[in-house]
A and B are shown apart, each in its own frame.
Chain A
Amino acid sequence: MIDYHAPLRDMQFILDELAGLPDVAALPACEEASPDLVAAILEEAGKFATGVLAPTNRQGDLEGCRLEGERVIVPEGWQAAYDQFCESGWLGLSLPEEFGGQGLPKLVSTPVWEMWFSSNMAFTMLPQLNVGQAEALLIAASEDQKPTWLEKIVSGEWAATMNLTEPQAGSDLAATRMRAEPDPGGDYRLFGQKIYISYGEHELTPNIVHLVLARLPDAPEGVKGLSLFLVPKYRLEADGTPGEKNDVRCISIEHKMGIHGSPTCTLSFGDNDGAVGQLVGEPHQGLKTMFIMMNEARFGVGVQGLALGERAYQAALEHARERVQGRNVVSGETGLPILHHPDVKRMLVGMRARLLAMRTFLYTAAGWFDLARHHPDAEVADRHRRYVDLLMPVAKGWCTEIGNDLCDEAIQVFGGMGFVEETGVAQLFRDARIITIYEGTTGIQANDLLGRKILRENGETLRELIDDIRACARSVGKDDRLTELATSLDEMLDTLAATADWLLAQGKERTAALYGGAVPLLHLLGTVCGGWQLARAAQAAQRQLDADEGDADYLAGIIDLARFYMASVAPEAASHARAVRDGGNVLAQFPETRL
């Protein structure tokens, strides 16, 4: 089994120096987030992740879930972990105080959720669903509905699910067929089947609340005809307590490559008299609510990439320090741990550099969410909203791809022992494989980035971002000791700017060719954002070093990690750019029949 220790020092350094915790804590509604409180929260969350969630991770993977009739049995350790998680109030960390949460900013909840995902991803999907559903209800539910459902969802007393996918409606929700018929009693009755429903059935809580996308009888065709419904596993009595079983059943669970502890259910609604549910929000406006939540959801999956990469790195580092093998390639000395092999060291330094890049990027973006939501100056709020919109496909697409790469590389560090399941890194690799797929595949993120976020607005926000990063490069370059970082960042920016100009100069008839290069474009922007954040990190570290604050060794390490990223990852920007332009062109001319 592999241990997990929250990387508190990195987290704290990024929050304080780079992601703007002081700015966020100064926002109205965020005053609680004082530095000492945040430090205490991270510390205690770290203990909980290490002591409660991490030890159940491997067992959950081994046991998996099973279907007995219509009952779904989850891993044995889940009940105690879930009860303790909810009793400790962690579920409500970022949710409103009005419904029992603590209302802390996203910048504070992000490192905490990173810890939960690192320590036990399959488990953490369960409370994450509650947070997602609570956010949907906060947007769309009526004032009458909110108290009934939200208090139970925020406390975790009831579990929550999201029901979007159907066999014919995966990435394309326009094909949704689930029907909702008005009931004389004022509710609705739902009929149809949903698949890939995480935690769609279990007995961890006395009720499960399904949030379901369905069509009303008068619904227009396509995505404009989808409405949202709340369908509880047990129908509610007049006093709001769970009563008789609703007409929803789990008819199968999937056998999956990873996240074995998370049951992925096929739910059948309305096999008898119809599953009783309530409409949430206006009729036919369901997808709008889903879209409002989409940035949050994508961001959350991006954090999973960071989290799994972190756990993989910790495991790989420990192994590389302990495993003695081979001889020094130059001196021939034997009896040394494998960390001394230049290539093993290359992998570990590269992993740590990319983790620092991702974490700084994601935490900084978490701060943008808070600034967009709470900043009193509408213009400042709007700028951060536009950054969130532009970069969420990158946060999701790039961080999940890199997260997969890191889990893969950790196995390489372990060698044969990584291919063997007992060491636990294989589980991380298997668990990570879903994150580039769900909540919109990398391809879908890339299409969104190119089409909606760049072409549609003629690259306006992207240019603003490039200007911002350019200013950062200039500022970093003023310090002679950091010039090489600034130069690399500038080079990447030139590449990005040229690619953006080229993209925007292409006529409509060439759009298909552009989409063939969408994923390389996403990687290009991700690589640049990573370099940007590391340049900022190096600058902050240098500032602290000059002021004789903090741990000099640690801070020097931050600067070196930025250097290594610029030397080994940043050059990929040019190849991504080439793939955007030339690769897309070749693809557009390549007949599918030749495959």
Chain B
Amino acid sequence: MKVLVAVKRVIDYNVKIRVKPDHSDVDLTNVKMAMNPFCEIAVEEAVRLKEKGVATEVVAVTVGPKAAQEQLRTALALGADRAIHVQTDEAVESLAAAKLLAKVVEEEQPGLTILGKQAIDSDNNQVGQMLAALTGRPQGTFASAVEVDGGADDKSLKVTREIDGGLQTVALQLPAIVTTDLRLNEPRYAKLPDIMKAKKKPLDTKTPDELGVSVASGLKRIRVEPPAERQGGVKVGSVDELVDKLKNEAKVL
């Protein structure tokens, strides 16, 4: 079974986010970028499936600028066999990303597609679900465990999902779409020989035009604000005082 795994280049999670002075966007100038942590988990899961003999090939795909090839090389160093780069300098929204990925799915026909549940830059949590809808494939989102049922046919998949108040296990017919939650696995560190081999693994580049998808934006971004600075806390003397503050100061009750 072929596994397709989508990765996204995002601002490194260690970086303190700055907003551009004109409030048009987050400032990415000279900021360290990295693979989205949820995508790292997706890659790890795909590589583990290959190590278990369930997956025969792992293909990593990304949508983004030229520099996003760094993240594809990371995926290759972690164990993906080849990579597809849908290259665009445009800001790609969830639906456009899902449409592009749907085209790649159509071309590659993977038995399983794994994505991070969301990217830590825009935190939309949409692409996996949209991709499932566009391709008509069943989805198992927020996975904390993925189990491909035995048998030579590899026809179904059990996905344990993290939902409010507990875990839910769903059975999916393959081919399917899975999005990963934090606890699905702990991604490995790349090995030096694999980092070196990654350079030589095949990496195909395509454009949205070639895939026949428009990445034109349907949304207008009005203003980006940094979160309010945290104020110092106060100790309250009694429950009554707390209730009073919640009612009259915070106005949440």
Contact = CB atoms under 8 A, between A and B. Distances in A.
Dominant SS at the B interface? Answer: helix
B70 A44 contact: no
A88 B189 contact: yes
A38 to B, nearest CB: 10
A52 B186 CA distance: 13
Given A102-B196, A551-B29, A554-B30, A40 B77 contact: yes
A525 to B, nearest CB: 35
Classify chain A: how many residues form its interface, as a range. Answer: 20 to 34
Contacts of B73: 36, 40
Given A40-B74, A551-B30, A554-B30, A84 B195 contact: no
A9 B30 CA distance: 10
Nearest to B29: A551
Interface in A11-69: 32, 34, 36-37, 39-41, 43-44, 47-48, 51-52
Interface in B1-39: 14, 29-30, 32
Given A47-B189, A48-B189, A40 B30 contact: no
Nearest to A51: B189
Nearest to B198: A40
B43 to A, nearest CB: 14
A88 B30 contact: no
Interface string B41-54: 00000000000000
Given A5-B14, A51-B189, A44 B195 contact: yes
A90 interface: yes
A178 to B, nearest CB: 37
Nearest to B14: A5
A89 B77 CA distance: 13
A376 interface: no
A524 interface: no
B201 interface: no
Contacts of A87: 191
Contact of B193 (A37, A47, A84, A102): A102
Contacts of B196: 32, 37, 102
A259 B205 CA distance: 50
Contacts of B29: 551
- Among B70, B77, B194, B196, max chain A CB count under 10 A is at B196
B192 interface: yes
A269 B145 CA distance: 54
A93 interface: yes
Given A40-B74, A40-B198, A89 B30 contact: no
Contact of B77 (A5, A32, A44, A52): A44
Interface string B189-213: 1111111101100000000000000
Contacts of A8: 32
Nearest to A40: B195
B192 A41 contact: yes
A550 interface: yes
A304 B175 CA distance: 53
B17 to A, nearest CB: 16
B199 A36 contact: yes
Interface string A79-120: 000001001111011000000001000000000000000000
Contacts of A84: 189
B199 A88 contact: no
Interface in B137-196: 189-196
A550 B14 CA distance: 20
A49 B192 CA distance: 13
Interface of A: 5, 8-9, 32, 34, 36-37, 39-41, 43-44, 47-48, 51-52, 84, 87-90, 92-93, 102, 550-551, 554
Given A51-B189, A89-B192, A550-B30, 6 more contacts: A37-B195, A40-B77, A47-B189, A47-B190, A102-B196, A551-B30
